[in-house]
Amino acid sequence: MTVPVTVKILRFDPEKDKKAHFETYEVQADPLDRILDVMNTIKWYQDGTLTFRRSCAHGVCGSDAMRINGRNRLACKVLVSDVGGDVGKKIQLEPMLGFKIIRDLVVDMEPFFEKYRSVKPYLINYEDAPRSSERLQSAEDRALFDETTKCILCGACSGSCPPYWSSSDFIGPAAIVQAHRFIFDSRDQGADERLAVLGDGEGVFRCRTVYNCTDACPRDIPVTKVIEQIKRSMLYKR
Amino acid sequence: MYHKYDAVVVGAGGAGLMAALQLVGKANVAVITKLYPSRSHTGAAQGGICAALGNTEEDHPEWHMFDTIKGGDYLVDQDAAEVLAYDAVERIIEMEHMGLPFNRTPEGKIDQRRFGGHTRNFGEGPVRRACFAADRTGHMILQTLYQQGIKENVTFYNEFHLMDVLTNNGRCVGVTAMDIKTGELHTFHTKAVVFATGGYGRAWKVTSNAHACSGDGMAVAYRAGIPLMDMEMYQFHPTGLYRIGVLLSEAARGEGGILRNALGERFCERYAPTLKDLAPRDMVSRFITQEIREGRGAGPDKDYVLLHVDHLGKEVIDAKLPDITDFARTYLHVEPYTQGVPIQPTAHYAMGGIPTDIEGCVIIDEKATVMPGMYAAGEVACVSVHGANRLGTNSLVDLVVFGRRAGQHAANYVQHADWEALPANHEERSKQLLSFVKSGGESHRQENAADIRKELQNKMQDWVCVVRNEQTLTSMMKTLAELRERYQKVRVSDTGTKFNTERLEALELGCLLDCAEATTKGALERRESRGAQYRDDYETRDDVNFLAHTLAYRGEEGGVKELRYKPVKITRFQPKERKY
């Protein structure tokens, strides 16, 4: 059963437009359709120029983070009925803030990934690993960084963060989450190197504890809590 | 734009990253990927990665090898299965050392759980062989390998779409690719190319696969004269989320989940008394299809069955199956703590693909002639380690085992191989493709790519699915010929050059059509039932005529030109009837 749905999308074509502008589309959609399905319906049958990233379509690849009715979400993890699109509420789609727009809903992810790389997001261990067996780790130690292993680098947290909008140098919540994943891993020995990056003026202390990141995370990572854990581990160290 | 690298890896999922990690430091290497590496479809794999570590109970690589061969209904090349099972152990340890956060046993070792078709002592009963990181094992493998890529400073060309593979004097000498951001064509001149571009699940309506899984690598190789092997062996995973096909891992059943029909019966025990719900995927998909056909499906249209995990308790569900229960809540508004989850078989995995030997070298005929400089690994490749049906978790094992072997072989190869020139007009085929989908308002172009894709997906779903026969397959061949005609008239309305995803989707559709045709033709000519190829007009396996790999060659104008057959390598285990 489909119902009429109204979608308002911020459009920008770098080859034609000087400024971004909204366009409105009327489509038929099932209340259980994903917002991504609705966008595909528009792209395939109404306006082929509508541009967005997408891949897995079920919230694990992180391609389609965008502002949906003002909040950062994955378009494939929000259903029409979740935002009242089936009962006449207009659905508004915009690219994430804090990122340069490339075209329509596609934003430049390069600075984001550069910040990600800056925290040395890989296991650092200076000792030789056992030759033919795993390093041991208790289930309790494994649980300490479980939440932050879920990150899919979609950028929803960083793109929802006011300090990230105002300072292009702020490392942002996503990179902090990635650093946490290693700092709290009992097998890792790179905490000092990472904390040096995070303790910088553009590191964790730029965080104003707004909780937007926690609200935005499609993987339910308690991002703000994670940032607080990093801050605390720094303060106690000093 | 022209680039010169010793080696280029196409695709940045598990296999591509593993290959790149072998090459970096030894050769000048670049990785081309249609997405960002962390978006690759390896990340969607959930339940586990098998290796006979024996951490929780007795296990041996030999048992893993046997299960893989039997699971593949004896179409597996047994030398490859042996490599898979033995190398798996080292690769798991290697990835743990790289930092992969596996779940742990009380002693702090890597925890292991049961998975379909994996047994102790040659079929006696289920064994705990699957190493796992909750139900996001693929995500953790992808993350870990990408992290290593960053550590090793691997060069990535993100958001580049593969257009063509270049050969000269019988050797592979590079690829062309389009930069999606600018629309510009790039030529990569190389000594070696590793294809790791994944599968083509988007040829079906209900699929677990990402939109990006459009068979690009297979189609590009196929158009360049390289055959595709065993394409009719396409896996339908039993437990896709009803209607949308999102995967619900076999781990749900590995942890004790049960399938029930509308009457509440645990129907798998009727069909597979020993392994029950943990029988291999081809079988469980058939059981479900039969239940639905005989009117015991659930729901108003009686077209699904229910996956129950409610009896496992919240604690087990939250610790071991958090993602898949979240999918049920998000997409179907069903609460797995208390309710059965509606599921149906979903197009999931290509056992077939570009044929290779056990070093990942691409082979081009039934005599196993190697194309020097060309490698393939992962889902795009067919080693053949999965035969007619892949066991759960073996895709991830395949990625890391054969991705590594391909990378290592390529790293050695580029040290001693000479540079071969690019062929004349090396951009011609790519430019033709691009101009074909850049037509704007030409009046003879009236076809919408989305309409063609939808027709392809609907018909493949109806006719080349869990059950096939001469009639459905013949009808599909006819439909494909029509769709190919219509594809010639596709109109792309977006005339822009930057991030023109309408054009990209039209290119991907062309790839899907080629893959679907090789699949259908292989299935039509294989007049037997084996593994995922189940024909209700030829219900038994025919080892006299079909214990062989299908090689499909493409004609110049599209369509399958010729099928050839390549013998299966049998070393330790003679084909037997497959019972569970």
Residue by residue, DSSP assigns B98-167 as HT----B-TTSSBPEEEEEEEEETTTTEEEEEEE-STT-HHHHHHHHHHHHHHHTT-EEEETEEEEEEEE
**pLDDT on residue B368:** 97
Which two structure tokens, joined as six digits, stand for B66? 């046997």
Distance between CA B37 and CA B145 in Å, rounded? 10
pLDDT of B143 > 60? The answer is yes
- Using a pLDDT cut of 70, give the percent of chain A over it: 99
In chain B, which among 477-516 make CB contacts under 8 A with chain A?
Answer: 492-494, 496-502
Residue A66 · residue A47 · CB < 8 Å: no
**pLDDT on residue A148:** 98
* Summary mean pLDDT of chain B: 96
Q: How many helices (H) and strands (E) does chain A have?
A: 8, 7
Residue B345 · residue B247 · CB < 8 Å: no
pLDDT of B323 > 90? The answer is no
pLDDT of B437 > 80? The answer is no
Residue A159 Cα distances to A36, A72, A163, B539, angstroms:
19, 7, 10, 56
Question: φ, ψ for residue B60 (rounded to 5)?
Answer: -140, 140
Residue B522 Cα distances to B508, B516, B527, B550, angstroms:
21, 10, 9, 7
End-to-end Cα spacing for chain A: 61
pLDDT of A10 > 80? The answer is yes
Considering only A89-98, A151-160, B271-280, which range has the smallest mean pLDDT? B271-280
In chain B, which among 44-83 make CB contacts under 8 A with chain A?
Answer: 44
Q: Does B147 contact chain A (CB < 8 Å)?
A: yes
Residue contact B101–A79, C-beta within 8 A: no
Nearest to B498 among A14, A55, A56 (CB): A14
CA of A205 vs chain B CAs: smallest distance (Å): 25
Provide the pLDDT confidence category of residue B440 given band limits of 50, 70 and 90.
low
Provide the pLDDT confidence category of residue A236 given band limits of 50, 70 and 90.
confident
Distance between CA B564 and CA B2 in Å, rounded? 37
B441-490 residue pLDDT tens: 566 778 999 999 999 999 999 999 999 999 999 999 999 999 999 999 99
**pLDDT on residue B445:** 76
Q: Which of B395, B87, B104, B369 is nearest to B237 (CA)?
A: B395
CA B318, B319, B321, B322 torsion-angle sign: positive
B334-347 residue pLDDT tens: 999 999 999 999 99
Other beta carbons less than 10 A from residue B86's beta carbon = 16
B528-572 residue pLDDT tens: 999 999 999 999 999 999 999 999 999 988 899 999 999 999 999
Question: φ, ψ for residue A22 (rounded to 5)?
Answer: -90, 145
Residue contact B43–A139, C-beta within 8 A: no
Residue contact B99–A187, C-beta within 8 A: yes
Task: Spell out the residues 6+ positions from residue B326 whose beta carbon is closer than 8 angstroms to its own.
Answer: none
Other beta carbons less than 10 A from residue B455's beta carbon = 14
**pLDDT on residue B441:** 56
* Beta strand spans in B242-300 (E): 258-260
Distance between CA A102 and CA A139 in Å, rounded? 44
Residue contact A109–B36, C-beta within 8 A: yes
By DSSP bridging, strand B361-363 and strand B185-189 are unpaired
Q: Does B446 contact chain A (CB < 8 Å)?
A: no
Nearest to B497 among A15, A102, A188 (CB): A15
**pLDDT on residue B259:** 98
Residue B47 · residue B251 · CB < 8 Å: yes
Residue B410 · residue B7 · CB < 8 Å: yes
**A94 three-class SS:** strand
Residue contact B96–A132, C-beta within 8 A: no
Q: Give A-chain residues touching B151 at CB under 8 angstroms.
A: 120, 122
Residue A96 · residue A155 · CB < 8 Å: yes
pLDDT of A238 > 90? The answer is no
pLDDT of B132 > 80? The answer is yes
**pLDDT on residue B435:** 83
Residue of A nearest to B324 (CA): A58
Residue of A nearest to B449 (CA): A44
pLDDT of B438 > 80? The answer is no
Residue A187 · residue A137 · CB < 8 Å: yes
Residue B502 Cα distances to B164, B438, B448, angstroms:
19, 10, 10
In chain B, which among 520-559 make CB contacts under 8 A with chain A?
Answer: none
Nearest to B99 among A34, A123, A153 (CB): A123
Residue of A nearest to B158 (CA): A110
Residue contact B104–A142, C-beta within 8 A: yes
Distance between CA A233 and CA B160 in Å, rounded? 41
Residue contact B331–A58, C-beta within 8 A: yes
Helix, strand, coil shares of chain A, percent, nearest 5, are 35, 15, 45
Residue contact B101–A185, C-beta within 8 A: yes
Beta-bridge partners for A49: none
Distance between CA A213 and CA A217 in Å, rounded? 6
Catalytic residues of B: 281
B483-519 residue pLDDT tens: 999 999 999 999 999 999 999 999 999 999 999 999 9
A65-94 residue pLDDT tens: 999 999 999 999 999 999 999 999 999 999
Quick one: DSSP state of residue B37? G
Q: How many residues are present in chain A?
A: 238
With residue B145 as reference, give the H or E element that holds it: helix B137-151
Provide the pLDDT confidence category of residue B106 given band limits of 50, 70 and 90.
very high
Which two structure tokens, joined as six digits, stand for B569? 């390598």
State the average pLDDT over residues B176-181: 98
Quick one: DSSP state of residue B11? -
Q: How many residues are present in chain B?
A: 580
Question: Can you tell me the ipTM of this complex?
Answer: 0.98
Distance between CA B560 and CA B518 in Å, rounded? 6
Quick one: DSSP state of residue B205? S
* Summary mean pLDDT of chain A: 96
Residue of A nearest to B241 (CA): A58
Provide the pLDDT confidence category of residue A1 given band limits of 50, 70 and 90.
confident
With residue B286 as reference, give the H or E element that holds it: helix B281-293
Other beta carbons less than 10 A from residue A69's beta carbon = 18
pTM above 0.95, yes or no: yes
**pLDDT on residue B319:** 87
pLDDT of A226 > 60? The answer is yes
Residue A38 · residue A21 · CB < 8 Å: no
CA B466, B471, B476, B479 torsion-angle sign: negative
A120-138 residue pLDDT tens: 999 999 999 999 999 999 9
State the average pLDDT over residues B208-225: 98
Distance between CA B524 and CA B314 in Å, rounded? 46
Q: Give A-chain residues touching B331 at CB under 8 angstroms.
A: 32, 34, 58, 79
With residue A233 as reference, give the H or E element that holds it: helix A223-237
Distance between CA B399 and CA B391 in Å, rounded? 14
With residue B345 as reference, give the H or E element that holds it: strand B341-350
